[in-house]
Amino acid sequence: MRALHGERPEVTPVWFMRQAGRSLPEYRALRTSGTMLEACLDPAMASEITMQPVRRHGVDAAVFFSDIIVPLHLMGIDVEIAPGRGPVFAHPLRTAADISAAVAVDPARIFERGDAVADAVARTTVMLAEEGERRGEPLPLIGFAGAPFTLAAYLVEGGPSKDHLAARRLMLEDPAAWADLTAWLAEVAGTFLALQLEAGASVGQLFDSWVGSLAPDVYRAQVLPASRATLAAARRAAVPEGVDRFGFIHFGVGTGELLADMADTDVEGVGVDHRVPLDEAVRRIGRDVTVQGNLDPAFLFAPEATRTAAVEEVLRAGTAARAHIFNLGHGVPMDADPDAIGAVVRTVHAWRAG
């Protein structure tokens, strides 16, 4: 949290996107039955899965075990997470009438139906406090939400897409419907972040996984306002508890040309994927924020010496920013060796700026 707010601790903090689950054998042992959505909405299971990588890897923060489509499910939208594919929607939002019907649902329903999420967050913060006492340092919980564009890309397409053409087409064919959809999704995502923060999370990260498919001018005109609204709504929920207790990170994939715009959303940190070195990212951002990232996940499969050199290069590049939170440039691959992940943590914690 000190790093996120601009201090530079002697030891660089580290956590990983998708660190909860996927690559861990203890996760696979726990998830022997049931769907992904059922696991996300089982407080005991979600909190245990969230804690597994904290115990195994010694990372400095936990990221809540959930999925970006959970708030849409809580809103009553018919969606499932298909193994090997991802979110699949029974009724894509293809027309203005589809969108009009969807946005009529009040995002406050997330609070009305989100008891399981709030319970899981509360349980996890208690477990993190206990683990933090053993280590002698606090361990924050990172909550997250999908950004309006990424959620819209799934909703309009009906599932994953390589080019997100359906969403890009809608914003040009029917700008009014697109504006209605993304404004509503900003409320949905902001409410989901607020639910996690009010239940005990310390950080809210906004994931815009697919926004790298957009040109900068299109992003600024058609997407950035909704992302700003999402983070503003979440921050309004957090501020009464004290600004210094919370922080926000904005992350996207393939967003090298968008980094300055993503930082212009009242956030403390900007996540950078592995395509842009951190020192170059700092130059492009051009403002006083903490950077997060950005080891290429492929290095988790490299020989030890190669991996260590890559980690140290990311750490050196991160000194260009006011502070640096080490992470991958995207999520942990599901077939990554947990021992390699742990080795990265040890390398980061042992490194000191020259």
Give the catalytic positions in this structure: 18, 22, 31, 67, 154
Max alpha carbon distance in the chain (Å)?
A: 59
Q: Are 282 and 235 in contact (CB under 8 A)?
A: no
Other residues' Cβ atoms within 10 Å of the Cβ of residue 223: 25
User: What CA–CA distance (Å, rounded) separates 20 from 35?
Assistant: 16
Q: Are 90 and 79 in contact (CB under 8 A)?
A: yes
Q: Cα–Cα distances in Å, from 217 out to 125, 271, 276?
A: 40, 20, 20
* DSSP bridge pairs for 89: 79
Other residues' Cβ atoms within 10 Å of the Cβ of residue 183: 15
What is the dihedral sign for C-alpha 340, 343, 347, 349? Answer: positive
Radius of gyration of the chain (CA): 19
Instruction: Name, in order, each residue with C-beta under 8 angstroms of 242's C-beta and a sequence gap of 6 or more.
Output: none
* DSSP bridge pairs for 243: none
Q: Cα–Cα distances in Å, from 314 out to 151, 159, 259, 353?
A: 30, 34, 17, 12
